[in-house]
Amino acid sequence: MEFDDPDEYDITFPRRQIAWQLGSVVTQVQPNLVLKKGAKVRPSEVAAMKLIHEYAPSIPVPFVQGYDFRYRDGVAYYGELLMDYIPGETLMATWAKLDDQGKGRICQDI
């Protein structure tokens, strides 16, 4: 995966892992970009984010700058997504703090 404008790439930026999930890791690679990669990263994730951007633009979802998938027998088994970095707390981190009413509102919004 390559950056569109290498002049904007800061080689001194210290990468840091910001999220871990079973089968994927998210690393901040630039002040404004993250790279999500792993065996659980699928093309459907890109499609879902594009749909949210188009039909529910008020929901904060990163814009996908680029992606790459590896396939075996026509099935994606590994993927990488280069996305905009959105600062703040993730839904996963917030979820445990919400009461049932708050969780219900989020589910309705989504």
pLDDT in tens, the chain (110 residues): 555 555 677 889 999 999 888 899 999 999 999 999 999 999 999 999 999 999 999 888 999 999 999 999 999 999 999 999 999 888 878 888 999 998 998 888 76
* Number of independent structural domains in the chain: 1
Kindly report the backbone phi and psi dihedral angles of residue 83, in degrees, each rounded to the nearest multiple of 5, phi listed first.
-135, 160
Range of the domain at 63: 6-109
Query: What does the pLDDT read at residue 7?
Result: 61
Q: How far apart are CA 23 and CA 25, in angstroms?
A: 7
Does a structural domain hold residue 10?
yes
What token pair was written down for 68?
Answer: 């790459």
Query: What does the pLDDT read at residue 32?
Result: 95
Query: What does the pLDDT read at residue 80?
Result: 98
Query: What pTM did the predictor assign?
Result: 0.79
The answer to whether residues 36 and 83 touch, using CB atoms and an 8 Å cutoff, is yes
Does a structural domain hold residue 1?
no
The CATH number of residue 50's host domain is: 3.30.200.20
